[in-house]
Amino acid sequence: MSVWLERLSRGFTEAESSQIQAEIFNVKGLQLELDSLSTEHLQEGLIRMAPYRLKYSGSLRHGRVESWQQANSYVAEKIQANEAPTWQDILNLNALLTNQVKSEIRTKPVYLGPFEACPPEDLALTLQHFERDILTNKAQLDPLIATALCQYWLVSLHPFEDGNGRTSVLLSDWLLGLNGYLPMSFDTKLDGMVATLSSDRVSATPGNAVLKLLTNVQRSYRLVLNDA
């Protein structure tokens, strides 16, 4: 197993597992509260949530509102059709977000701040593992955990030249929506989702990534319920 596969495939610690189960319980409780809202109050809450959806996306900062909206529409249509995402869908999302006709796997190194992401020569193997064992093998996991792991792998590998973070966010929204959950809302970037191999930085573990997603999902519910 490569170093990257080993790093990304780590299991949860006992403490992480306990906290994850508690936070999943909280999300499901918030979902029950949401189900009791009137249509009017739900619409008001979704409007209240909207600015926090865009905080991370980078769309406004880079003048990419149209591409962000197009990619969101793509996800919404797939959720409506009850279609699970494939690797080709991820390529399509990245192409929409970066205004390309076709998205391709990067062939050059990229850096997450001062840290190098997965080297190009290792991407083929790691992405094969991601598609086979993470993206298409989610049924055995709680949907919230499965969503977080998909996002964690994708944003950590950084397989594209651009738009990796936004692509991973919309992949998560898609998986959350298929399972009846609200999308994530943000107050910071996704730094806690990214795994690196540097000993100089406290790398996110899969458990950290799950907890971060659960926090971001709960933020959406609290915004909609006016309990932020």
pLDDT digit string (tens) for the chain, length 228 residues: 578 888 888 999 999 999 999 999 999 999 999 999 999 999 999 999 888 876 555 545 555 778 888 999 999 999 999 999 999 999 999 999 998 888 999 999 988 777 778 889 999 999 999 999 899 887 788 999 999 999 999 988 999 998 898 899 999 999 999 999 999 988 765 555 665 555 444 467 899 999 999 999 999 999 999 875
What CATH homologous superfamily does 3-7+26-224 map to? Fido-like domain (1.10.3290.10)
Position 85 scores a pLDDT of 96
pLDDT in tens, 5-22: 888 889 999 999 999 999
Report the percent of the chain where pLDDT is more than 90.
61
Sign of the C-alpha dihedral computed for residues 14, 192, 131 and 171 taken in this order: positive
The predicted model scores a pTM of 0.90
3-state secondary structure at position 111: strand
Question: Looking at the annotation, which residues are catalytic?
Answer: 158
Q: Is 195 exposed, middle or buried (0-12, 13-18, 19+ CB in 10 A)?
A: buried
Could you give the CA distance from residue 152 to residue 8 in angstroms, rounded to a whole number? 8
Q: Which residue shows structure tokens 């980078």?
A: 58
Domain spans of the chain? 3-7+26-224
In the Cβ-directed half-sphere of 220, how many Cα atoms lie within 13 Å?
24
Which among 163, 177, 188, 187 has a CA at the least distance from the CA of 59?
A: 163
- pLDDT computed for residue 192 by the predictor: 52
